[in-house]
Structure 1
């Protein structure tokens, strides 16, 4: 005769904390962007003809590195048929993500500090909402990384949401800039 073992209930709190913190980050950025008075100017990086060109190129760099993130993740998890991921794929994935994030910081800083969250046109509204969402889901993904007992779908979903938001950000900013003003530095 065997004694039934008690069913161990798994707490969802460890999974919810990254999502709640990410949500708070997104809301805080949106509130800050909407509540503060935009300055109209921010620090620019030398080598660019203007702030918009700087933002367009840095965002394009982030987007290209996000593509590296997608393909390296697919290779690491064996989701690319016939592709054996080299041993350095994990390092490529981590560093491309770090650099993509670093490239996005001056862009986000300028958007929030100099322009604020604006809702006057559809493109700018979508861009503002995607920007706050991107940083919120990014924080949730980063906080989820050390959790080893997450369901197998959690990180791909968070990464996919971050990539989707970044794609929308690129389309509503860099792509718009390049098609409106031309490809300039």
Structure 2
């Protein structure tokens, strides 16, 4: 017996499945969504509003910021489709990854003041179906966004995970826009 065959091979660590890699990010994202909803519900609305010079009302500021975030989310969607080769006859330029990353960052940065205003000044409301859905979509958006950001650097995930998470985040942002800015512009008109 040789020395090489006498020593047993060290046990290898079991390979973690893609599903196992999603458990912790999913739990954290769920906790983020839940914490935002609970905070919004138990925190008494202050009525202190986000307002910027040049806008006619806090609702106008929120609606325009939500619209800007949605436009950048659309840029992110289109850039993702180009990156994944889903747009026929279009080859991905070298800068498409940077466009995708920066459009997502800008969309998120623009959405944060709107969310802070909604949570702090208005709270989690349910006095109408539209408002209840808006509150739910807002909490779910930030939970799903958290999951996506935690999953992004992970290796060994199935190829469908990031596109599905991106689609969920995008869909929630569009739902937020329809239950807020679209309603606002339809009710009060498109103005600053």
TM-score in same-fold range (> 0.5): yes
What corresponds to 2:71 in structure 1?
Answer: 64
Whole-angstrom CA distance in 1 between matches of 2:171 and 2:86: 19
2:37 maps to 1:30 = yes
2:154 maps to 1:147 = yes
Shift in Å, 1:10: 2.5
Task: Give the TM-score taking structure 2 as reference length.
Answer: 0.90
Shift in Å, 1:7: 10
Cα deviations by residue, 1:72-92 (Å, 9 ceiling, x for unpaired): 001001011111111100000
Runs of 4+ in 1 over 4 A off after TM superposition: 6-9
Unaligned runs of 5+ in 2: 1-11
Verify the 8 A CA contact 2:144 2:169 in the aligned structure 1: yes
Cα deviations by residue, 1:89-138 (Å, 9 ceiling, x for unpaired): 00000000000001001100110000000011000000000000000000
Unaligned runs of 5+ in 1: 1-5
2:86 maps to 1:79 = yes
Structure of greater Rg: 2
Question: Number of residues paired by the alignment?
Answer: 181
Task: Give the TM-score taking structure 1 as reference length.
Answer: 0.94
Verify the 8 A CA contact 2:21 2:157 in the aligned structure 1: no
Cα deviations by residue, 1:4-38 (Å, 9 ceiling, x for unpaired): xx994525443211111000000000000000100
Call closer, same or farther: CA 1:99–1:7 in 2, change over 3 Å. Answer: closer
What corresponds to 1:3 in structure 2?
Answer: none
What corresponds to 1:116 in structure 2?
Answer: 123
Shift in Å, 1:69: 0.7
What corresponds to 2:16 in structure 1?
Answer: 10
Shift in Å, 1:41: 1.5
Whole-angstrom CA distance in 2 between matches of 1:105 and 1:47: 20
Whole-angstrom CA distance in 2 between matches of 1:39 and 1:7: 52
What corresponds to 2:189 in structure 1?
Answer: 182
Secondary structure at the residue paired with 2:91?
Answer: coil
Shift in Å, 1:43: 3.5
Q: Aligned match of 2:173 in 166, 170, 173?
A: 166
Shift in Å, 1:50: 1.2
Secondary structure at the residue paired with 2:165?
Answer: helix
